[in-house]
Amino acid sequence: MRWSIRCILVIAGLLLAGCVTESQNLPRFSAVAASLPPLAPGMTRFYVYRLLDPNDPSLGTIVYLNGKDVGFSRTGTVFFRDVPPGPYSITVLSRGQYPDQFKNVVAQAGQNWYVRIGIPPPSWSWDTPDARGDTFVVQIVDPRIAEAEMAPLALAP
C-alpha cells in the first residue's frame, strides 16, 4: 500500500513538472513594471491580465478592443496595449455566455485601465445550457487591486 501511494505521488510530481508553461520563462510584471515605456501623450493604456488559477483549465482567450484582436490572455500573464482615447468595447473569445460578460468604457487620454479576464464561478455552469466550453468574463478592476494582482504575473509580449 505504501509503495503504491509513493508511486502515485512520484507520477503526479512528474506530471506536474511536465506542465511547465511558457509564462514561467517570461519576466515577472513586478520586476519590469518600472521600466515599461511611458504612456505617450494623448494615449490610453489597457493592462489585460489573468490570475494564476489552478482551477482554470483553459489555455487562454483572444482579447478584443472594439472588435480588433489586441492580444492573447493566458493564465498567469499580463500584457498592455496603448490606444487612442475614445469609447471601447472590451470583449474576449468565449464559447459560453454569461450575464454582463463584456464591458464598455470611455477612455480618456492619460488613463490606465485594468482589465481582468476571468471565468465564471463553477456553480454557474451546472444549470446553464450556454456554459459549453471555455467561458470568459471581462472585469474592470480598481488600480490598487489590479497592481497587487498583477505583480506576481508574467509580462507577456
Number of H-type helices and E-type strands within the chain: 4, 9
CB-based burial label for 126 (10 Å; 0-12, 13-18, 19+)? exposed
Question: Over its length of 157 residues, how does the chain's per-residue pLDDT go in tens digits?
Answer: 444 444 443 343 333 333 334 455 778 888 888 889 999 999 999 999 999 877 766 778 999 999 999 999 999 999 999 999 999 999 999 988 888 999 999 999 999 999 999 988 765 554 555 554 578 999 999 999 999 999 999 999 8
Domains of the chain: 25-155 (2.60.40)
